[in-house]
């Protein structure tokens, strides 16, 4: 059973999980989630996980792969559906825009937006500082690009 809240200490009965066909060791992302560490990201750097060894002690390589392995990237599964929009329209104090801004994926993107815009402005300023190219080949490249673009549009 996974812990559905952030936790500083968790006890595991086993590191095996039934995947529908058989038992396998926990994957790094599953371990992080079940250990309650996913909700603590950014809050603290360590937590305590106790693994009960009833019969056999797990191999250190298995524990290392499970605890220190690279977890898969989390992506939001939030989807706006027609029924969700209709339900939100019934509640006056909630708007669809507010709900999408609170979704995990959108929240993550919004938190990164400031940094990305700052980097974009820096790069734009750097490009503006570059000297203009003055060469005969450059006009040929522009002409080639325009002709190739026109060809691809006509081909479609």
pLDDT of residue 148: 93
Nearest-5° Cα angle at 110, 104 to 116: 130
Strand partners, 51: 12
CA–CA distance from 31 to each of 15, 34, 144 (Å)? Answer: 8, 5, 54
Provide the whole-model pTM: 0.42
Report residue 145 as tokens: 């690009």
pLDDT of residue 152: 94
Contact at 8 Å (CB) between 107 and 101? Answer: yes
Ranges of the chain whose pLDDT falls below 50: 1
Contact at 8 Å (CB) between 28 and 17? Answer: no
pLDDT of residue 41: 63
């Amino acid at each position: 059973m996974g812990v559905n809240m952030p936790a500083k200490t968790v006890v595991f009965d086993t590191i095996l999980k039934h995947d529908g066909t058989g038992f396998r060791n926990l994957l790094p992302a599953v371990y992080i989630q079940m250990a309650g560490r996913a909700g603590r990201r950014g809050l603290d750097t360590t937590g305590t996980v106790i693994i009960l060894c009833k019969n056999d002690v797990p191999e250190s390589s298995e524990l290392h792969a499970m605890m220190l392995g690279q977890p898969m990237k989390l992506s939001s599964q939030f989807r706006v559906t027609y029924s969700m929009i209709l339900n939100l329209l019934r509640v006056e104090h909630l708007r669809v825009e507010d709900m999408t801004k609170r979704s995990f994926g959108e929240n993550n993107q919004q938190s990164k937006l400031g940094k990305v815009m700052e980097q974009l402005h820096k790069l734009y300023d750097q490009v503006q500082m570059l000297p203009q190219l003055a060469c005969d080949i450059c006009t040929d490249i522009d002409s080639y690009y325009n002709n190739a673009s026109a060809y691809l549009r006509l081909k479609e």
